[in-house]
Amino acid sequence: MYHKILVTGGSAVTGSALKSIIGDYPESKFFFINSKDCNLVDRDKTIAYVSGLQPDAIIHLAAISGGIGLSMKYPATLLRDNVLMNFNILEAGRLCNVKKIVMTLTTGMYPADASLPLKEEYIHNGHPHESNYGSSFAKRLVDPAIKAYRAEYGLNIIGLVPNGIFGENDNFNYDDAPMVPTLIRRFYENRHGNSKIVIWGDGTPLREYTYAKDVAKAFMWCLNHYNDAQILNIGTTEELSVKEIAYLIASFLNIDTSRIEFDTTKPNGIFKKSVDNSRFISISKFQYTPFKAGLENTIRWFCDTYQKSPESIRMKGKSRIN
185 is in an annotated binding site: no
How far apart are the C-alpha atoms of 175 and 185, rounded to whole Å?
12
How far apart are the C-alpha atoms of 44 and 60, rounded to whole Å?
17
CB 225 within 8 A of CB 100: no
186 is in an annotated binding site: yes
For 71-110, b/e burial (b = at least 16 CB within 10 A) is: bbebbeebbebbbbbbbbbbebbbebebebbbbbbbbbbb
SS3 254: coil
193: region left, alpha or beta (phi > 0 left; psi from -120 to 50 alpha): left
Nearest to 260 by CA among 245, 271, 272: 245
Q: Specify the DSSP element, H or E, that contains 149.
A: helix 142-153
CA neighbours closer than 13 Å in the CB half-sphere of residue 129: 16
Nearest to 168 by CA among 321, 293, 22: 293
Nearest to 169 by CA among 46, 304, 280: 304
CB 237 within 8 A of CB 173: no
Question: Binding site for NADP(+), residues?
Answer: 139
Question: Binding site, residues?
Answer: 139, 186, 200, 207
Question: Binding site for substrate, residues?
Answer: 186, 200, 207
